[in-house]
Amino acid sequence: MSEETKQEAVDKYVKLSDPGWDEAKPVGKQAGTPAKVTLRLLDYPGVGVFRHWIGDAQVKRPFNCPGSKNGCPACRERNIAKLADTEGEGKWRSIHRMDHRDIVNVLELGETPKLKVFQISNSVKKRLDAIIARGEQFADPTTYDIEVMKSRTGRNTFDVEYDVFAVKDGNHRPLTADEKALLAKKYDLSQEITPADPQTIAAAMKGLKTGPGPATEEQKAEVQRVLKNQGLTALDVGVTDLDTITAEKAQAIIKDLG
Ligand SMILES: [Zn+2]
């Protein structure tokens, strides 16, 4: 992928930045303002897709699920683990974790409106559905602008909460000429939901198991923490140099001793 294409790919999607977290401040009194973006949905409900997140603990990538009936190897592993889960612990849910997105075209509103693709998560969808349920004025969410806000609720990057508001209480603002011109260029959403090839998924899963690549800095730090807690040295677990440890070894140490 060329730099240009990469940039395009990044800009194509609505992205809410991380509002950050200040450990010194209590929950609810966080200094940073929540990240927010104002949007006009151009499709609703758009197209839905189930995705698997495949990779190691640090770097996971989404793969559109082709469905277990179409030979999805990630679903197969999940299903096997689910059947084996006679205690009902539910750990299988985190194996090649699945999520769902409703994908729509939107206008991202700012100084100049931009045509983008918005991947609506379940939590945003829930908030949006609550607005839609408010009455006739809100029934069609493509007729008014919305504001999506992202706040942090804890120290981990995944401790986030979303909220959605109808701008000016759902005022049916007509689109400007510029916005209408963008509307005519909507992205073809079918490529967003194209299922991944089962072989591609299998290869990604295999990469996960062998994990020959170097560990990330986070993994190394975690290994150090785990060893310290256990009163062990790196040599005790067969590691001569923590700097050159593989992702696979780091994961094994974290999993077995952490
Ligand atoms: Zn699947």
Same domain as 167, residue 223? no
Same domain as 234, residue 162? no
Same domain as 88, residue 216? no
Distance 242 CA to ligand 1 centre (A): 35
Distance 73 CA to ligand 1 centre (A): 7
Distance 121 CA to ligand 1 centre (A): 18
Same domain as 122, residue 222? no
Considering the entire predicted model, what is its pTM?
A: 0.73
Last residue of a domain, one of 178, 193, 209: 209
Q: Tell me the pLDDT tens digit for each residue of 150-200.
A: 988 888 777 888 999 999 999 999 999 999 999 999 999 999 999 999 998
Distance 120 CA to ligand 1 centre (A): 19
Last residue of a domain, one of 192, 209, 226: 209
Distance 49 CA to ligand 1 centre (A): 11
pLDDT of residue 126: 96
- Range with lowest mean pLDDT among 75-79, 87-91, 129-133: 87-91
Distance 63 CA to ligand 1 centre (A): 9
Same domain as 218, residue 153? no
Distance 196 CA to ligand 1 centre (A): 9
Question: CB under 8 Å, gap of 24 or more: what pairs does 201-207 form?
Answer: 201/52, 201/54, 201/63, 201/66, 201/72, 201/73, 201/74, 202/73, 204/54, 204/55, 204/61, 204/63, 205/54, 205/73, 205/74, 205/77, 205/96, 207/55
Distance 190 CA to ligand 1 centre (A): 18
Same domain as 217, residue 173? no
Distance 72 CA to ligand 1 centre (A): 5
Same domain as 19, residue 93? yes
For the chain, what is the mean pLDDT?
88
Same domain as 203, residue 124? yes
Assign residue 127 the CATH number of its domain: 3.90.198.10
What domain count does the chain have? 2
Distance 254 CA to ligand 1 centre (A): 27
Q: Containing domain of residue 217, as a range?
A: 211-257
Distance 60 CA to ligand 1 centre (A): 15
Same domain as 112, residue 16? yes
Same domain as 198, residue 137? yes
Same domain as 125, residue 49? yes
Q: Tell me the pLDDT tens digit for each residue of 210-225.
A: 456 777 777 888 899 9
Distance 52 CA to ligand 1 centre (A): 6
Please spell the DSSP secondary structure of 41-93, one letter per residue.
ESSSS-EEEEEEEEE-SS-EEEEE---GGGT-HHHHHHHHHHHH-TT---GGG
Same domain as 162, residue 68? yes
Distance 130 CA to ligand 1 centre (A): 29
